[in-house]
Amino acid sequence: MAIAGLGGVGKTQLVLEFAFLIKEARPDYSIFWVPAFSREAFEQAYAEIAIRLGIIHTGENEEVKSLVKKHLEEQTGRKWIMIVDNADDEDILFGAQLEDGIVEYLPESEDGFILFTSRHQKAAVALANSDVIELGQMSAWEATDFLGKSLTRKELLCDDSETTELLNELTHLPLAIAQAAAYLNENKISVSKYLYLLRNTEQDMASLLSREFRDRTRYKYSKNAIATTWLVSFNQIRKKDPTAAEMLALIAFIEPKAIPRSIFPPIKPEERLEYAIGTLCAYDFITRRENEDIYDMHRLVHLAAQIWTRKHDLANATETKLIKHLNGVFPPNEYENRDLWREYFPHALALLQANKESHLKEVYSLCVKVGLCLVVDGRYREAISWLEMSFSWCSHNLPEEDSDRQLSQHVLALALLDNGEVTKSIELLQVLVRAQNSLAERDPKRLISQHVLSRAYLDNDQVDEAIELLQYIATIQEEVFEDHHPDRLASEHVLARAYLRKGRTEEAIKILQHVVSTAEKTLEKQHPDRLISQHVLGRAFLENGEVKKAIQLLQHVVTMRENHFDEQHPHRLEGQHFLARAFLADGQKTEAIKILQHVVMVRKGLLGPQHPKFLESYNLLSLAKEREENASQAI
């Protein structure tokens, strides 16, 4: 039988306890303990067994191993258990370079039982076939009990919530708990101080978890620190499966949770990648989620992998390779790709966070791609921080006419506009549009910059300038694009908004009905572009006094957005706000108040009490309550 599991999970301690229980309950059994982390340790253990059994030998190691095996196979009626600990290295176990593996010297007998411990699932299966027990992490109560027994100052456990926090940070891993207890015992600090060091900086965490300590239940020369205990396995992987080692290094620089398979650089043939993933899974360094090509890495293993890559000078080359790959595969911000770019987000952000000072062009290209998707997701402030970083680099390193610089400038202006920073957006866009005067009048990049500038004019109450620019854009787009082209529909949509602001409601409704009708034929029900056009048409109906039509359309928009957008998404909140306005216009004051109370609460937390959007909803809520109160008094 084999006990398999992550290094530090307590395999050796478990079989030690098992050995003592057998010794107490079944004194007729002989128990032999054989370390297998090296050939020398194995041979030394067999030499000691030979002495205990009274086996006469000539001193040749080979002969000792063979004689011990023969003795245990031939001594019928004598019960024995052999524990082969740390059976991890396949070369040591099964042989390499003309050397026999130690399995050649393991006895086989009806009277005996061999129990292996192994960090390596593949080795465990090869040794014990299906008789493998996987040892997982401790339960919460087991971890608490173990910590309590390991501490000299039991009063440190008085605060249950603090203890729970510590154990959660250590992921209930026995070796990490033992290390923490040793540190607390030796340095006489509090649990809260240890937690602070764990959470303070990555350097503090790495230093803390790399600190060696004495543990009598582990081998004399073994690495006890949690951050270094897996280095032996990492080096075994590097020697036996370079592809798996490369993947391990890559994972060290992205988030350890929810890692999509597609984020790995392509490897041919495909079987090599599958085998490499299998190697990392076999060591329990990553685990595959059920029925998904998504993987998780133990958080402390992730830290150890970072230490390992830096120790072997792999960090810079690995990060560079990963950034270039991720920049190449990061999906466009189209709605259809939403699930995929949401999978990539945390990993791209982790890479960007660690490379803020980089001079690699792909870093700033990735910033733009991430920023665009954050804008679609309504996370404008996050988008702006990455887009400003990209534009700053581009401004210092690329000429004004460079297409990458112009894209960075355009996307930053778009994010600023959506976040309500209209003046900044206009300044950037006017500079951009002037820089694009050298482009052909029909160039799509020039047209889309002018389109966003017209939006900014509209949001800045420069309605006449917006209409003039939009009519110019529309004239060119009619010649360049088909009737259903997204860019043409987007410009018509903004032009209709501008007409609404000028009181030209009938013209706005006519344009919007065309845009909505076209979008309903070409886009899915939940597509943001289709919903935003329906939203503005609902507002136009409301302005035109067609309240019932407005309510019907806005209810549809709100329902679709609630199903597909987060609670704090600006488009979802905007739809709810205008539906409440329509309810209020229809005399449905209670319904309006219910919606507005929610919108006001979310916008206050999201935007703050001085933001115009919050004040807009707050004032409408006050009006709705006033009308309800007046109605009650009249009754």
Residues making up the chain, counted from first to last: 635
What does the pLDDT look like over 327-361, one tens digit per residue? Answer: 999 998 888 888 899 999 999 999 999 898 888 99
**What pLDDT, on a 0 to 100 scale, did the predictor assign at position 498?**
94
Question: Which backbone phi and psi does 119 adopt, to 5 degrees?
Answer: -80, -15
- 3-state SS, residue 284: coil
Among the candidates 151, 176, 210, a domain finishes at 210
What does the pLDDT look like over 415-472, one tens digit per residue? Answer: 999 999 999 999 999 999 999 988 888 888 999 999 999 999 999 999 999 999 999 9
Asked if omega into 269 is within 30° of 0 (cis), the reply is yes
Mean pLDDT of 20-37: 94
Same domain (yes/no): 178, 268? no
In 73-231, beta strands by DSSP E: 80-85, 95-96, 99-100, 112-118, 132-134
Confidence of residue 102 (pLDDT cuts 50, 70, 90): very high
Closest CA to 207 of 196, 195, 197: 197
Place of tokens 């987060």: 566
In a domain, 410, yes or no: no
Q: Name the more confident of 216 and 359.
A: 359
Which distant-in-sequence residues (6+ apart) come within 8 Å of 514 by Cβ?
492
Same domain (yes/no): 179, 74? no
Look at strands 286-288 and 294-297 and give their pairing. Answer: antiparallel
Mean pLDDT of 201-205: 77
CATH no. for residue 121? 3.40.50.300
Query: With 60 as the cut, is the pLDDT of residue 59 above it?
Result: no
- Asked whether the beta carbons of 17 and 29 are under 8 A apart, the reply is no
From the number of C-beta atoms within 10 Å of its C-beta (0-12, 13-18, 19+), residue 421 rates as middle
Look at strands 294-297 and 2-4 and give their pairing. Answer: unpaired
Q: How far apart are the first and last CA of the chain?
A: 83
Query: With 70 as the cut, is the pLDDT of residue 223 above it?
Result: no
Confidence of residue 590 (pLDDT cuts 50, 70, 90): very high
**What pLDDT, on a 0 to 100 scale, did the predictor assign at position 100?**
86
Query: With 90 as the cut, is the pLDDT of residue 99 above it?
Result: no
In terms of pTM, does the model score above 0.85? no
- Asked whether the beta carbons of 14 and 135 are under 8 A apart, the reply is yes
Find the domain containing 161 and state its range: 140-210
Query: With 80 as the cut, is the pLDDT of residue 219 above it?
Result: no
* Separation of alpha carbons 128 and 116, rounded Å: 8
Same domain (yes/no): 115, 10? yes
In a domain, 632, yes or no: no
Q: Look up residue 250 and give its amino acid.
A: L
Q: Structure tokens of 66?
A: 């063979």
In a domain, 324, yes or no: yes
In a domain, 376, yes or no: no
CATH no. for residue 284? 1.10.10
Residue 114 β-bridge partners:
82
* Separation of alpha carbons 106 and 94, rounded Å: 11
In a domain, 83, yes or no: yes
* Separation of alpha carbons 344 and 241, rounded Å: 26
Closest CA to 278 of 240, 326, 221: 240
Q: Structure tokens of 234?
A: 């990492």
* Separation of alpha carbons 231 and 76, rounded Å: 42
In a domain, 87, yes or no: yes
**What pLDDT, on a 0 to 100 scale, did the predictor assign at position 224?**
62
Same domain (yes/no): 198, 252? no
- Beta-carbon count within 10 A of 135 CB: 17
- Asked whether the beta carbons of 485 and 518 are under 8 A apart, the reply is no
**What pLDDT, on a 0 to 100 scale, did the predictor assign at position 104?**
93
- Beta-carbon count within 10 A of 27 CB: 8
Place of tokens 């015992």: 185
Same domain (yes/no): 50, 113? yes
- Beta-carbon count within 10 A of 338 CB: 16
Query: With 80 as the cut, is the pLDDT of residue 585 above it?
Result: yes
* Separation of alpha carbons 394 and 411, rounded Å: 13
Same domain (yes/no): 89, 193? no
Percent of the residues in the chain that have a pLDDT greater than 70, as a whole number: 97
Mean pLDDT of 240-268: 90
Number of domains making up the chain: 3
Q: Structure tokens of 607?
A: 């935007």
Same domain (yes/no): 41, 126? yes
Which distant-in-sequence residues (6+ apart) come within 8 Å of 536 by Cβ?
493, 496, 497, 500, 512
Query: With 70 as the cut, is the pLDDT of residue 517 above it?
Result: yes
Average pLDDT, the chain: 90
In a domain, 288, yes or no: yes
Same domain (yes/no): 112, 196? no
Same domain (yes/no): 172, 242? no
**What pLDDT, on a 0 to 100 scale, did the predictor assign at position 209?**
78
**What pLDDT, on a 0 to 100 scale, did the predictor assign at position 422?**
95
Same domain (yes/no): 83, 16? yes
What does the pLDDT look like over 173-195, one tens digit per residue? Answer: 998 898 899 889 888 888 999 89
Among the candidates 155, 179, 210, a domain finishes at 210
Q: Name the more confident of 201 and 378.
A: 378
- Asked whether the beta carbons of 292 and 343 are under 8 A apart, the reply is no
Q: Structure tokens of 518?
A: 């076209």
For 185-227, the DSSP string reads HHH---HHHHHHHHHH-HHHHHHHHT-----TTS-TTS--STT
Which distant-in-sequence residues (6+ apart) come within 8 Å of 508 by Cβ?
496, 497, 499, 500, 540
Question: Which backbone phi and psi does 113 adopt, to 5 degrees?
Answer: -140, 130
Helices (H), 268-360: 270-282, 299-311, 315-329, 338-354
Mean pLDDT of 25-29: 93
Among the candidates 90, 117, 134, a domain finishes at 134
Furthest C-alpha separation in the chain: 113
Same domain (yes/no): 205, 268? no
**What pLDDT, on a 0 to 100 scale, did the predictor assign at position 124?**
93
Range in 64-78, 214-228, 324-338, 602-616 with the lowest mean pLDDT: 214-228
Confidence of residue 154 (pLDDT cuts 50, 70, 90): confident
For 443-483, the DSSP string reads -HHHHHHHHHHHHHHHHTT-HHHHHHHHHHHHHHHHHHS-T
In a domain, 146, yes or no: yes
**What pLDDT, on a 0 to 100 scale, did the predictor assign at position 205?**
79
- Asked whether the beta carbons of 470 and 494 are under 8 A apart, the reply is yes
Separation in Å, CA 618 to CA 93, 321, 598, 615: 72, 50, 10, 5
Same domain (yes/no): 28, 110? yes
What does the pLDDT look like over 266-325, one tens digit per residue? Answer: 888 889 989 999 999 988 899 988 877 899 998 888 988 988 898 888 888 999 999 999
